[in-house]
Amino acid sequence: MRFRLLPLFLVIGASTAHAADDPVEIEPTDDTWLSQEHTGKPAGRGTRDEMQLYGTGDEKTNRALLKFDLKTAPGGFRAAILQITCYNGQYTSSATSYLSCHAIARPWNQDNASWDQSAGGGNWTNPGGTWDPKPAAACRIYGPMGGEKPRAFVFDLTALARQWQAQPNVNYGVAIMLEKSCNAELRIRSKEHNVADQRPKLRLYYRGDPDKSAMALPPAEVPPFEPYDPLAPSVRLNAQVDALKLGQDFEVKFSASGAKEPYVFSAAGPPVPGLSLQADGTWKGKPSKAGVFVVGIACTASNGKRATDWRRVVVVDPNAAPPKPPDAEAQKTKSEPPADAAKTAKPPAAGKTKPAVDDE
C-alpha cells in the first residue's frame, strides 16, 4: 500500500511545484506579424525582435500573432494575463481606442506565416489570418501617445488559456490587432528581443490576483472583427465616430466598394437607441440612452456577397463627469527596462506615416 501511495504524492507535488512562484511566466513559442503590404511575399518576420501593429482606418491593418505552449504548466490557475510591451507608439488622437485579441483558428508557425500563408505552404482561409471574429479579450489605448517611453498592454485570456490546456490540439495562439478606425503605429517587443522583461509574457496566477487594470475592456463591449475577404464589399464611413452625445443630432453615412453595386445596408445587431440606419447607409438620429453599444452595419452587394462592419459606440451624457484615464504609471510595464534600453527606441522619422519596413 505504501508503495502505491508514494508515486501519488510525487505526482501531486509535481503538479503544484511550478505554481510556487506566483505568477508562472510563459514566453511565446512563436510570434510574428502580418502586413498586407507584403501580400504575395512568403517570407515571415518571426526572427525579428519586434512586431509592428499599424492601423489604416479599415480592416486591412497589421496584426501580431503569438502562440504559447501550456502543456507543462500546472492546471488550476485563477487567471491568465497576456502582457506585451510597446516600446515605440504613435497615436495622435485624444480619443480612446483599443486593441483586440482573437483566438487563431488554424496552425501556423513564425517561419512561414505571412499575409497569405499560415504554415508549410498552406494558405489562411482569408488573407491576413484565420481567427475567431469574436474577441477573446481587448485592451484600451489612451491617446495621444508618443514614442518616448515603453508601456504595457494587457489582455485577460483566462478562459482561452483554460481551453488551450484542456485541448492542446486547438491551441493556435492569438492574433492582436487595432480597432478598424484607429490610425496608430505600435512597435511591440517580440520573444527574440534581448531584454527579457520586454518580451511577451503569459502570466498564470494560482494564488494571488493579477493587477487590476483600467485598460482592460469587458468582452461585452468589444465588437467582432471579421477576417478580410477580398470578394466581399469593403465598408467605409465618411466620418470618425468617437463619443456621441446624448440627445444631440448625429448623422454619418456608410459607403462600400468592391463586389457588385448596388449595395443595401441593414442593421446586424442591436441598434443604438435613438439612431436608425437607412438602406442607403445613412445612419442618423439623436442618441436617447448613454452607454456603450456594440452595433453591426451589414452591407449586401447585388451579387449576394455580404460584409459586416462592427463598431463599439459610446454615448455620453454631456452633463455627467467624464471618466478619467488611468495614471501614467498604470500603463507602464511592472519592470521598467533599463534607462539605456529606452533611449535606443527611436521614434519614426519626421514626415512619415509609419516607420520604415524592410521588404522581404
Interstrand relation of 117-119 and 122-123 (parallel, antiparallel or unpaired): antiparallel
Question: 20-219 belongs to which CATH class?
Answer: mainly beta
Residue 156: the pLDDT is 94
Model confidence at 347: pLDDT above 70? no
**Residue 90 grid coordinates:** 504613435
Burial of 52 (0-12, 13-18, 19+ CB in 10 A): buried
Identify which of 53-67, 118-132, 160-174, 305-319 has the greatest average pLDDT. Answer: 160-174
What integer is the mean pLDDT of 18-39?
A: 85
Residue 269: the pLDDT is 84
Longest dimension (CA), the chain: 79
Residue 352: the pLDDT is 40
Model confidence at 8: pLDDT above 90? no
- The answer for residues whose C-beta is within 8 angstroms of residue 354's C-beta and 6 or more apart is 52, 54, 185, 348
Model confidence at 18: pLDDT above 80? no
How far apart, in whole angstroms, are the C-alpha atoms of residue 126 and residue 331?
A: 34
Domain ranges of the chain: 20-219, 234-316
How far apart, in whole angstroms, are the C-alpha atoms of residue 83 and residue 199?
A: 9
Residue 329: the pLDDT is 47
Residue 242: the pLDDT is 76
Question: 234-316 belongs to which CATH class?
Answer: mainly beta
- Laid out side by side, the sheet with 306-316 consists of 243-245, 306-316, 291-301, 263-267
Which residue type occupies 105? A
The pTM is what? 0.80
Q: What percent of the chain has pLDDT over 90?
A: 56
